[in-house]
């Protein structure tokens, strides 16, 4: 019976007849009719099933899907449309199926099996690897078929979305590319709503603002700059009105930059502005370059107009392209009237022909041409400088003309002045030579006169023809070949207001030119200066001789002086000290040269020494300074110092000191003080002794009055009177001592 559904209806009827032999004819007829009706109904039902299957396949095909029906055991009942489709095999387990992340789907997790377990799947994505090795992207929906409360099968529908997946991936790649381009644009790009609310910027925009996307999103563009309203000049506002791309240039002080703002509206299907794409180009460098160009042009124009030279720019035909103000003023015309005219029309024809030829020569040779010319009584220095264009062709000529009339006149005057200055230099050189001769150490007067006579001719205009003679105290010093000629100059040598000789300069031949004086006035001054210098030199030598004699006399006095005389400098110490130091301190002068005086002062005298040193530092002399010095043998000597500062260039550099030995006087004063102290003590002792003796004597005298008269009492009274006499003598001595003390005090001896 299990195979009945595969049998033909006629065969089925034959089988029933053979199986029921006991049935009567009528029953058989009725059974036959029933079976035939059942078969007819079954055929009609099969036709409807086929029709429904076709409709289902058509519906699935219309929506781009395919379906599979499974029975309760997971067997595929029907698949359509396209039973041979590669996806069918994949879903039915013939191919491989994976999740989108690449993980393989286990057999129990296939959509049909999950639906048979009662799950409902909607648009789950899978990847099927068909038998050809190609990946097919599908979306699958599955639902169980429940009959009588039991899952009797499952229906699975699938859709091939490989094309969509590829399109999606291409879209993602395109979006990634666009996002990369958007983010990496060097210019600033922003997207905003019509009300200026920022949707986003690219990376350059966030970097310019110094903000993160979270800080920017949702804020107004002007709020990002710290403003309370839109900019006065706004490309976005203009684009909203015109509904087309607008661009403006403006300076943004908050950023310190010039920006070119381009706003492009994006319209929705209704033609309304949905978004604004704003592009910001940093044109600061360009603007500054333009400003620098304008400044450069202004500077170039200023530099062109600044010189006093006439500067013009010509083409090769002589047409004037540009000119500075000096040139325009020279021809007394307006600049607008001159530009564009032919330069040679401003000159007479003969002059114009010469200048035109020079212009063409400069262009042909391709190098500057310089020439001097005289026009209308003035002298001009002109340079024609050919200029290449971008193709290396000489198409312009710069002409620079300088009026050199005053310069030439100044040069002539300068040459004459230079000649005069050279003569003065010769004279100064002669004076320097004479100064060097005079200042040579150890040179004698005779040597000075000889060398000065030889050096003197170099200071005159014609030194090769000049001879010199110096006469001093009847002695003559002359150059070789000297003789007296009519062309002679002489100047007296005066020493202490007395003329002792003269200096003569003679030319051996007449050298007059153009009726001018043979000798310059400066040469006369030079001769007088030399004669005066020789006179002062003689005076200096005489003064040196007198000084040597004075120094010798002073040194003798110093050497024989009983006082210690020395000179001490702050930097180098003692420079000179007289021999008296040996007697006073026990040192030889050689032992003390270079030493510091302070090193020999006894510590107890240092405060007084420092006070004197401060006065010397102020340039004040010090008198009667009493200082204790340490002798070589270790004893102490008292010196009374009189000091005077040594001043050079308004600064105290040292001190001159005269020290007198007052050691003996100090010792006498000490003894005198001790004697007076002893007198004071004696006076006090006299008074005390008198009082101490009188009191016991009075007691003794009183006691004798109590005794009986007798020889002993008389003897006691006699001795008391004798002692009283001694006491009266002591009183007289005390009085005399006081009188002596008062006398000494009155006469400043105590």
Per-residue pLDDT of 359-409, as tens digits, reads 888 888 888 888 888 777 788 888 888 888 878 888 888 888 887 877 777
Whether residue 551 lies inside any domain: the answer is no
| Cα–Cα distance for residue pair 309/315, rounded to 1 Å | 20
What is the reported pLDDT for 148?
Answer: 77
CA distances (Å), origin 74, targets 112, 113, 122, 460: 7, 7, 19, 141
The last residue of one of the domains, among 403, 424, 456, is: 403
What is the residue-averaged pLDDT of the chain? Answer: 78
Is 90 exceeded by the pLDDT of residue 492?
Answer: yes
CA distances (Å), origin 402, targets 164, 222, 326: 85, 60, 10
Q: What percent of the chain has pLDDT over 90?
A: 2
Whether residue 295 lies inside any domain: the answer is no
The last residue of one of the domains, among 543, 576, 602, is: 543
Residues 453 and 528 in one domain: yes
Whether residue 179 lies inside any domain: the answer is no
Residues 54 and 68 in one domain: no
Higher per-residue pLDDT: 210 or 66: 210
What is the reported pLDDT for 63?
Answer: 47
What is the reported pLDDT for 4?
Answer: 45
Residue pLDDT, tens place only, 674-732: 666 666 666 666 666 666 666 666 666 666 666 656 666 677 767 777 777 766 666 66
The last residue of one of the domains, among 661, 694, 722, is: 661
Measured in residues, the chain has a length of 750
Residues 435 and 521 in one domain: yes
Spatial contact of 654 and 570, defined as CB atoms under 8 Å apart: yes
Whether residue 299 lies inside any domain: the answer is no
CATH number for the domain that contains residue 419: 3.30.450.40
Residues 516 and 427 in one domain: yes
Spatial contact of 197 and 218, defined as CB atoms under 8 Å apart: yes
| Residue 372: strand pairing partners | 381
CA distances (Å), origin 640, targets 78, 557, 584, 621: 149, 19, 12, 14
Structural domain total, the chain: 7
Residue pLDDT, tens place only, 99-146: 888 888 887 788 888 888 888 888 888 888 776 677 888 888 888 888
Residue pLDDT, tens place only, 526-585: 888 888 888 888 888 888 888 777 666 666 666 656 778 888 998 889 988 888 888 888
Residues 85 and 95 in one domain: yes
Candidates 101, 244, 266; CA nearest to 191 is: 266
What is the pLDDT averaged over residues 641-662? 88
Whether residue 180 lies inside any domain: the answer is no
What is the reported pLDDT for 1?
Answer: 40
Residues 534 and 418 in one domain: yes
Residues 425 and 537 in one domain: yes
Query: Considering Cα of 506, then 509, then 511, then 516, what sign does the dihedral take?
Result: positive
Whether residue 335 lies inside any domain: the answer is yes
| Cα–Cα distance for residue pair 215/490, rounded to 1 Å | 103
- By residue range, what is the domain housing residue 109? 63-167
To the nearest 10 degrees (0 to 180), the angle between helices 405-438 and 521-560 is 30
Candidates 619, 633, 626; CA nearest to 584 is: 633
Higher per-residue pLDDT: 704 or 656: 656
Sheet holding 378-388, edge to edge: 320-323, 310-315, 394-403, 378-388, 369-375
According to DSSP, residue 103 is labeled: P
Residues 372 and 415 in one domain: no
Residues 139 and 36 in one domain: no
Whether residue 172 lies inside any domain: the answer is no
The 3-state secondary structure of 472-522, one letter per residue: ECCEEEECCCCCCCCCEEEEEEEECCEEEEEEEEEECCCCCCCCCCCCCHH
Strands 273-282 and 310-315: unpaired
Whether residue 733 lies inside any domain: the answer is yes
Candidates 388, 249, 380, 392; CA nearest to 326 is: 380
What is the reported pLDDT for 5?
Answer: 47
CATH number for the domain that contains residue 125: 3.30.450.20
Exposed (0-12), middle (13-18) or buried (19+): which is 9, by Cβ within 10 Å?
middle
| Cα–Cα distance for residue pair 62/81, rounded to 1 Å | 11
Residues 383 and 398 in one domain: yes
Residues 54 and 151 in one domain: no
Residues 76 and 50 in one domain: no
């Amino acid at each position: 019976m299990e195979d009945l559904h595969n049998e033909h209806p006629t065969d089925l009827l034959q089988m029933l007849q053979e199986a029921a032999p006991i049935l009567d004819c009528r029953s058989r007829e009725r059974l036959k009719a029933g079976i035939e009706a059942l078969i007819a109904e079954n055929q009609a039902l099969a036709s409807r099933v086929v029709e429904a299957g076709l409709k289902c396949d058509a519906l699935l095909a219309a929506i781009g899907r395919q379906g599979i029906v499974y029975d309760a055991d997971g067997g595929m009942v029907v698949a359509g449309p396209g039973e041979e489709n590669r996806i069918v095999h994949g879903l039915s387990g013939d191919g491989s199926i994976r999740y989108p992340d690449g993980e393989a789907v286990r057999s129990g997790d296939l959509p049909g099996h999950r639906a048979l377990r009662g799950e409902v799947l909607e648009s789950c994505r899978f990847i099927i690897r068909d038998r050809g090795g190609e990946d097919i992207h599908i979306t699958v929906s599955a639902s169980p078929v429940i009959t009588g409360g039991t899952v009797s099968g499952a229906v699975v529908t699938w859709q091939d979305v490989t094309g969509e997946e590829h399109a999606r991936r291409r879209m993602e790649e395109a979006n990634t590319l666009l996002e990369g381009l958007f983010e990496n644009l060097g210019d600033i790009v922003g997207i905003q709503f019509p009300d200026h609310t920022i949707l986003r910027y690219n990376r350059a925009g966030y970097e310019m603002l110094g903000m993160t996307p979270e800080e920017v999103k949702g804020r107004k563009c002007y709020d990002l700059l710290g403003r309370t309203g839109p900019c006065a000049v706004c490309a976005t506002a203009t684009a909203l009105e015109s509904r087309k791309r607008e661009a403006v240039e403006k300076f943004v002080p908050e950023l310190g930059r010039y920006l070119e703002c381009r706003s492009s509206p994006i319209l929705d299907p209704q033609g309304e502005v949905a978004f604004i794409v704003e592009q910001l180009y940093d044109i600061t460098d360009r603007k500054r370059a333009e400003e620098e160009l304008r400044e450069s042009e202004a500077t170039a124009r200023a530099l062109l107009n600044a010189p006093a030279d006439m500067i013009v720019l010509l083409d090769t035909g002589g047409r004037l392209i540009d000119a500075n103000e000096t040139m325009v003023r020279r021809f007394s015309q307006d600049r607008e009237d001159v530009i564009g005219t032919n330069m040679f029309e401003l000159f007479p024809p003969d002059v114009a022909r010469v200048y035109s030829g020079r212009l063409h020569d400069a262009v042909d040779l391709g190098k500057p041409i310089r020439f001097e010319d005289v026009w209308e009584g003035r002298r001009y220095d002109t340079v024609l400088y050919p200029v290449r264009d971008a193709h290396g062709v000489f198409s312009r000529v710069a002409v620079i003309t300088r009026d050199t009339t005053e310069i030439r006149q100044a040069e002539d005057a300068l040459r004459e002045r230079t000649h005069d200055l050279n003569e003065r230099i010769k004279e100064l050189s002669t004076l320097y030579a004479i100064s060097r001769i005079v200042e040579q150490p150890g040179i004698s007067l005779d040597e000075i006169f000889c060398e000065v006579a030889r050096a003197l001719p170099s200071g005159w205009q014609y030194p090769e023809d000049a001879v010199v003679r110096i006469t001093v105290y009847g002695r003559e010093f002359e150059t070789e070949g000297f003789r007296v000629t009519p062309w002679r100059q002489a100047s007296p040598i005066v020493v202490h207001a007395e003329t002792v000789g003269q200096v003569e300069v003679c030319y051996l031949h007449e050298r007059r030119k153009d009726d001018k004086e043979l000798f310059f006035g400066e040469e006369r001054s030079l001769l007088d200066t030399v004669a005066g210098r020789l006179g002062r030199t003689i005076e200096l030598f005489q003064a040196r001789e007198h000084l040597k004699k004075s120094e010798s006399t002073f040194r003798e006095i110093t050497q024989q002086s009983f006082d210690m005389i020395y000179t001490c400098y702050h930097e180098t110490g003692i420079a000179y000290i007289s021999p008296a130091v040996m007697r006073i301190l026990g040192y030889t002068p050689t032992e003390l040269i270079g030493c510091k005086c302070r090193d020999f002062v006894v510590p107890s005298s240092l405060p007084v020494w420092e006070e004197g040193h401060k006065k010397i530092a102020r340039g004040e002399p010090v008198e009667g300074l009493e200082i204790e010095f340490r002798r070589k043998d270790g004893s102490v000597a008292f010196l009374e110092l009189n000091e005077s500062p040594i001043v050079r260039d308004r600064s105290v550099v040292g001190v001159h000191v005269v020290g007198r030995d007052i050691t003996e006087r100090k010792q006498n004063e000490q003894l005198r003080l001790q004697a007076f102290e002893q007198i004071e003590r004696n006076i006090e002792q006299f008074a005390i002794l008198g009082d101490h003796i009188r009191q016991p004597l009075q007691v003794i005298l009183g006691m004798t009055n109590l005794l009986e008269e007798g020889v002993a009492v008389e003897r006691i009274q006699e001795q008391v009177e004798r002692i009283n006499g001694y006491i009266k003598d002591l009183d007289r001595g005390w009085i005399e001592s006081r009188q002596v003390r008062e006398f000494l005090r009155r006469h400043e001896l105590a």
